[in-house]
């Protein structure tokens, strides 16, 4: 599941996306380890942290204002395209691995595209009403080091969550989704 960098523009007809290329957010040279370290200067372990889209983009070499990161959920599919805009990342870093929760906004879900490659390069104007959704993943890096690469089952895969990581990630992602996708919105009452 690749992470794609798009130039985004808002015009009278709506928001348009133009593919710049694939972007690496994992790995030692990606933004995830730098963001975790910046938020955890004392090396506390385990450590829960958050990065909004603006934080991620600022940490991606060569990115600039007016860009967004989009996940291609079905990169090899010959007809359906599913593209989701990345909004936030929460991490819960242990010594050498980090479960992640991603807040996404579905731009196109199972969209029947005649030419998926061309569609991904410049999707048509996205719909104004988009559904919010969450995803759990993990990287093999944490407070004490590691590669920060995606888990062994694939380029990007699901995470096994221990109670402390699950409680943190579910609380933070759940609050963002319950607030209608707006960061800093009201928290649900427990």
Domain range for 140: 3-178
183 located within any domain: no
Give the pLDDT confidence of 25-65 residue by residue, as tens digits: 999 989 999 999 999 999 999 999 999 999 999 999 889 98
List the one residue out of 55, 52, 35 whose CA is nearest residue 88.
52
Whether the predicted model's global pTM rises above the 0.85 cut: no
99 located within any domain: yes
190 located within any domain: no
Q: What is the pLDDT of residue 159?
A: 59
**DSSP label at 189?**
P
Which stretch of DSSP H or E encloses residue 15? Answer: strand 14-22
Split into its structural domains, the chain has a count of 1
171 located within any domain: yes
Burial grade of 76 (CB within 10 A; 0-12, 13-18, 19 or more): exposed
189 located within any domain: no
By the 8 A CB rule, do 32 and 98 touch? yes
Give the pLDDT confidence of 107-157 residue by residue, as tens digits: 888 888 888 888 888 887 666 567 788 888 889 999 999 999 987 655 556
Q: What is the pLDDT of residue 91?
A: 95
Which stretch of DSSP H or E encloses residue 56? Answer: helix 53-59
185 located within any domain: no
Q: What are the start-end ranges of the E strands in 32-168?
A: 47-52, 67-72, 80-93, 98-112, 132-142, 145-150
155 located within any domain: yes
Give the pLDDT confidence of 87-114 residue by residue, as tens digits: 999 999 999 999 999 998 888 888 888 8
Which tokens go with 15?
């928001």
187 located within any domain: no
């Amino acid at each position: 599941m690749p992470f794609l960098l798009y130039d985004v523009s808002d015009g009278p007809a709506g928001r348009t996306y133009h593919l710049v290329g694939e972007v690496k957010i994992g790995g030692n040279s990606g933004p995830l380890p730098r963001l975790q370290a910046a938020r955890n200067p004392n090396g506390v372990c385990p450590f829960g942290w958050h990065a909004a889209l603006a934080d991620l983009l600022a940490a991606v070499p060569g990115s600039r204002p007016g860009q967004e990161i989009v996940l291609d959920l079905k990169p090899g599919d010959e007809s359906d395209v599913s593209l989701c805009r990345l909004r936030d990342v929460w991490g819960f870093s242990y010594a050498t691995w980090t479960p992640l929760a991603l807040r996404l906004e579905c731009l196109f879900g199972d969209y029947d595209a005649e030419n998926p490659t061309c569609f991904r390069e410049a999707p048509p104007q996205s719909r104004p009403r988009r559904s919010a959704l969450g995803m759990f993943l993990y990287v093999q890096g944490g407070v004490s080091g590691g590669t920060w690469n995606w888990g062994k089952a694939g380029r990007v895969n699901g995470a096994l969550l221990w109670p402390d990581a699950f409680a943190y990630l579910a609380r933070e992602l759940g609050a963002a989704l319950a607030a209608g996708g707006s960061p800093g919105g009201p928290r649900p009452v427990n």
